[in-house]
Chain A
Amino acid sequence: MTATAEPTAAAPSGSEPLLRTADLTRHFRLGGIFSHQVLHAVDDISMEIGEREIVAVVGESGSGKSTLVRLLAMLYRPTRGRIFFRGRPLESLRSRRDVLWYRRQVPMVFQDPYSSINPVFRVSHGVMRNLTLHRPELRGAARRAEAERVFEVVGLTPAREMLAKFPYEMSGGQRQRVGFAQALALQPRLILADEPVSMLDVSIRAGILNLMAELREREGVSILYITHDIASARYVADRILVMYGGHVVETGSADDVLADPKHPYTHLLLAAAPDPREPAAVDSSAVAGEPPKVVNPTEGCRFRARCPIAVDECGRVTPRLHAVGVGHAAACHLAPADPGWPGGSRDGR
């Protein structure tokens, strides 16, 4: 498989995107040193994130989405494939200065606001540290003013009082805002948000989702939003990548993917999203099963065991992402290819 033949999850711009991956792959060896068991956590992902774009990666626990975000955060090295940030390959970042440069532009916001903020310091600590480390040009009063500014941007007002609080004095939603403030202090280009709302009460999730949309508008950052909840992905994201068993199985604009899902797994995710405004459509069999641990995979679709419409071919040939509409691609043998669009031929031309 070559990068050029693959229709990537392309942002609709011609120039080099903010971040791009080419056949990004990460395997983990399981067991002892002589073990031949290899877990395929992420396989051959080619995706793009544009400027000022919110891209959601949706999938169940075990679909590989957290491994993907850790690869992008340079916490894991890819087994194969490359990541380009503004055209620059990440493996070329070797010096501490270069790595700091990248980490400053692509910070991460973590899932659990209760364990990702140091409880013994005031919440100003994380923000001030980020400013000291990454923006040494700011000193004294200017540094303090910038800390207050980012707190105000994320809605922690009055900023002066909020900065002086300890984490235990804040609610979960406020702590998650501290996480975003810490990221924002770096003047980032892309925030990697790994399930930022899944630990929060439903009543305050909307506030954090709205905050992400606001940060894009006001600060011009892009956001990679990792979630298992396709309804929230639709609410906040421009584009959606659906992951299953380490593969991207469907990608496209949020509207296209939700209005006209092509992959049976996307159908499953939609069926699982609770919607009290609709009658219950599925019984438990429709959402039964769990994502596989992809160990030493053979050729074939990784979803076939749970797929209600699987055919013989699914056990023999791994489906490749192919275009099914404008900027809309699916990796399913039964999703009709759209030959009218580039990459529309099933064999990847």
Chain B
Amino acid sequence: MPALLEVRGLSVDYLTDAGDVRAVDRVDLEVAAGEFLAIVGESGCGKSTLLFAIAQLLSPPAELAAGSVTFAGRDMVTLGERELRHVRWRDYSVVMQSAMNALNPMKSIEAQFADTMRAHARLTAEAIHQRAAEVLRLVGIDPIHLASYPHQLSGGMRQRAMIAMALLFTPQLVIMDEPTSALDVVAQRALMSQIKELQQRLGFAVVFVTHDMSLVSHYSDRLVVMYAGQIAEAAPTARLFERPLHPYSRGLLDAFPSIRGPRRLLTGIPGSPPDLARPPSGCRFQPRCPVALPECSVRDPELRAVDGADVRCLLYPAPAVPVVPAVPVAEHRA
């Protein structure tokens, strides 16, 4: 069965006066129908740009430089605006980061839902009302709130209303850009469980972007770790949490405190992602890497298959030797 979404060699440039900045660099992704794929990384690593490129929402100065996006058998890159209109929201939808900014403060929830539905289909007012009430019920909000304005809802409810809006046409794919980042831990947890429940019930696929790896640990099927516009590591979620191969994945995993067990000193990842206008020579993570080798600043590592994962790191030499790599990493940390 072909993948629902297939991204090949996708590169995105920001055209600036000082020259082109490559924000997304040769990214390959596949999402099967009904799969939950999470993309994690720090701010500025290109994950939101990647989402926008997939959803065909890039606007200047961002520009698709290379690659293809195939969704349900269609090449999205070559589709014109009119054709996209039939695919957008009906077959795939997007949940934006900040519901506070994404919802129109001057319009009731129902009016916003109706706008969305009219833009993508011809429906009677009655059908629109029916469907709007139905999706609100799906996300656990009383349809009485169809008449509410965004400011009358709590942060968690606003985010759920955004998700309800994304489900108006029962799409095959829902793209989510940090939908929980403005919420507190309890509301985050509730929302994640709800997304997972809906996904299992309705069978849509999810591409979920977040900077908080712990958030998706129990929900995603596969994880893609991005750094400086490139995929650093891609693996099944459980596998990546159990045995992160890339030092950056390891750093992300070690960044948050646990509520159980002994208290350990957390290091986080010192430094910040590189300026993509002047990426460092060799491996892009090498200036922050705790286990960098001399050759890391010279050689640009390729993404290669290692032991059930794809990883971009010179610690894993070409003929994959599964035992060797874990040792130097562990020693250095100790």
Would you call A229 and B185 a contact (CB within 8 A)? yes
Closest beta carbon of chain B to A286's beta carbon, Å: 9
CA distance A274 to B251 in the complex (A): 17
Nearest opposing residue in chain B for A155, CB measure: B270
Nearest opposing residue in chain A for B237, CB measure: A276
Against B, the Cβ 8 Å flags (1 = close, 0 = not) of A260-276 are 00000000111111111
Would you call A206 and B217 a contact (CB within 8 A)? no
Q: Which among B154, B155, B212, B261 is the interface contact of A202 at CB below 8 angstroms?
A: B212
Against A, the Cβ 8 Å flags (1 = close, 0 = not) of B204-217 are 00000001111101
Would you call A232 and B257 a contact (CB within 8 A)? yes
Nearest opposing residue in chain B for A207, CB measure: B268
Against A, the Cβ 8 Å flags (1 = close, 0 = not) of B69-101 are 000000000000000000000000000000000
Q: Does B193 contact A (CB under 8 A)?
A: yes
Q: Does A118 contact B (CB under 8 A)?
A: no
Would you call A269 and B266 a contact (CB within 8 A)? no
Instruction: Provide the main secondary structure of the chain B interface.
Output: loop
Closest beta carbon of chain A to B290's beta carbon, Å: 13
Q: Does A280 contact B (CB under 8 A)?
A: yes
Nearest opposing residue in chain B for A293, CB measure: B154
Would you call A203 and B252 a contact (CB within 8 A)? yes
Chain B residues contacting A68 (CB-CB under 8 Å) are none
Nearest opposing residue in chain A for B272, CB measure: A171
Interface size on A, residues (CB 8 A): 42
CA distance A29 to B46 in the complex (A): 46
Interface size on B, residues (CB 8 A): 44
Would you call B256 and A231 a contact (CB within 8 A)? yes
Would you call A206 and B255 a contact (CB within 8 A)? yes
Would you call B190 and A274 a contact (CB within 8 A)? no
CA distance A274 to B253 in the complex (A): 12
Nearest opposing residue in chain A for B43, CB measure: A201
CA distance A204 to B42 in the complex (A): 9
Q: Does B17 contact A (CB under 8 A)?
A: no
Would you call B265 and A210 a contact (CB within 8 A)? yes
Against A, the Cβ 8 Å flags (1 = close, 0 = not) of B193-207 are 110010000000000
Contacts A274-B189, A287-B193; A204 near B214 (Cβ below 8 A): no
Chain B residues contacting A228 (CB-CB under 8 Å) are 184-186
Q: Does B259 contact A (CB under 8 A)?
A: yes
Q: Does A60 contact B (CB under 8 A)?
A: yes
CA distance A202 to B211 in the complex (A): 6
CA distance A279 to B212 in the complex (A): 17
Contacts A276-B213, A280-B218, A290-B154; A231 near B268 (Cβ below 8 A): no
Would you call A203 and B266 a contact (CB within 8 A)? no
Known: A60-B186, A272-B188. 6 other contacts (CB 8 A): A61-B155, A201-B43, A207-B270, A276-B213, A276-B214, A290-B157
Q: Jot down 10 A-B pairs with beta carbons below 8 A, ordered by A.
A: A60-B184, A60-B186, A172-B43, A203-B268, A205-B256, A207-B268, A210-B266, A228-B185, A234-B263, A274-B188
A contacts, CB < 8 Å to B: 60-62, 171-173, 201-207, 209-210, 228-232, 234-235, 258, 268-280, 282-284, 287-288, 290
B contacts, CB < 8 Å to A: 42-43, 140, 154-157, 183-190, 193-194, 197, 211-215, 217-218, 241, 251-253, 255-261, 263, 265-270, 272
